[in-house]
Structure 1
């Protein structure tokens, strides 16, 4: 636990060049105008034109810059210096106004020194944070009155299931111990990572909602989705760029989204 931040920073710095070059992120497509934002995110967040948006744990900025293309005044924050360097370079190349800051998410209020209409956190972010209470309090400190948090995440229910078929319960949903992983690859392909250790933290949906409510935000909705962005289990089938269980098969939630407003 004492070293989780240093370990994960090294892991993510090593992933950046692999991710930038990957088909998964399709940076060339982004430069040509493609948006990686999901349809449900666009519908649930609504018009961002003229609004100040902070993207926490922004990686190398594709989602952040997509919000900029839609008219938001964006700031991205990530603890990976390599990711922020790439984000700044991409913003300059695409001619998109954006501010990118290197800092731990828990230090965001001090590192950014500003408040926002929208705090956005995208998929795969919360698993890297040990303390959701502190995270929610950080979000509140960044929000203007009447602003809102928008969170899209992979659903923790799927983490209970076996990685091959997704049909057998093999893990404890309520295990909150830090998990140390040694894995040679990142999720974008078969390129071997220079630094292969990471530390992750599972959080249940109840943990997330409770932390947000305790921090003083009002939950507007919690939506669960039956699709995900990659073939998480072998039985999922692709449809319109998303992966779902075949028609007629029992479904489980694979992602969820939440919006909560500041009072």
Structure 2
């Protein structure tokens, strides 16, 4: 646990040049006007014109800059300096105004020094954080009264099933980790990585929602989706901008999205009853 942050940062630093050159991220397509945001995200977030938006764990900034193209005043935050440097360069190349800051998400309040109308967190982010209670408090502290968090993520239930068929339970839903992985390649096309080990953490849906409620946020909606962004199981088929089980098969929740708003009161201080005791950096 003491090494998780540096272990993961080295891995994500190594991913930056691979991802920038990958077909998966299609940076050249983005420069030409492609929008990387998913359709349901655009529908559920709504109009962002003139609103201040912070993207936590923004990586190379494609989604961040996509929100800027839609009219938001954007800031992106990531713990990888290599990713932040590339995001800044991309913003300059595209002529898109944006601020990018290097910091761990748990230090976001101090690093940013301001509040926002929208906190946005895209897919594949929470697995890198050991403590979602602490994350939720940071989110609440970043929001202006009346602002909201929008989170789109892979559904934690999808992690318990076998990768070949997606029909057999092979993992314990309530086992949180940490899980140490040693994988030579990232999830995109491209060369092998110089730093291959990562430490990841599972979080159940109830754990995430409870953390947000304990931080003083009000849940507006929680939507579960029957599609995902990659062929998670061998049986998934491509279609409608994602991957899903074949027509006629029983459907599974593969992604979820939620929106939670901040009221006028400050988030509660101290640890709420039943708060996670996971170590943090």
Does TM-score exceed 0.5, indicating one fold? Answer: yes
Query: 4+ runs of 1 displaced by more than 2 Å?
Result: none
Counterpart position of 2:160: 160
Tell me by how many angstroms 1:166 deviates. 1.3
For the residues of structure 2 that align with 1:93 and 1:164, how far apart are their CA atoms?
Answer: 41
Q: How does 1:26-175 map to 2 (within 5 A)?
A: 26-175=26-175
For the residues of structure 1 that align with 2:161 and 2:195, how far apart are their CA atoms?
Answer: 27
Counterpart position of 1:21: 21
Task: For residues 185-230 of structure 1, give each alpha carbon's deviation from its aligned partner in whole angstroms, at most 9, with x where no partner exists.
Answer: 1100252111000000000000100000000000000000000111
Counterpart position of 2:248: 248
Task: For residues 16-46 of structure 1, give each alpha carbon's deviation from its aligned partner in whole angstroms, at most 9, with x where no partner exists.
Answer: 1000100000101100000000110000000
Tell me by how many angstroms 1:176 deviates. 1.2
Task: For residues 119-158 of structure 1, give each alpha carbon's deviation from its aligned partner in whole angstroms, at most 9, with x where no partner exists.
Answer: 0000000000000110000001100000000000000111
**Which ranges in structure 2 are unaligned for 5 or more consecutive residues?**
264-281
The 8 Å contact of residues 59 and 84 in structure 2, kept in 1 or not, is answered as yes
Task: Identify which range, 183-192 or 66-75, moves more after superposition.
Answer: 183-192
Count residues with an aligned counterpart.
263
Task: Output the TM-score relative to the length of structure 1.
Answer: 0.99
The 8 Å contact of residues 22 and 190 in structure 2, kept in 1 or not, is answered as no
Tell me by how many angstroms 1:165 deviates. 1.8
For the residues of structure 2 that align with 1:109 and 1:170, how far apart are their CA atoms?
Answer: 39
Please tell me the root mean square deviation across aligned C-alpha atoms, in Å.
0.7
SS in 2 for 1:208: helix
For the residues of structure 2 that align with 1:151 and 1:227, how far apart are their CA atoms?
Answer: 16
**Which ranges in structure 1 are unaligned for 5 or more consecutive residues?**
none
For the residues of structure 2 that align with 1:190 and 1:139, how far apart are their CA atoms?
Answer: 34
SS in 2 for 1:17: helix
For the residues of structure 2 that align with 1:161 and 1:185, how far apart are their CA atoms?
Answer: 22
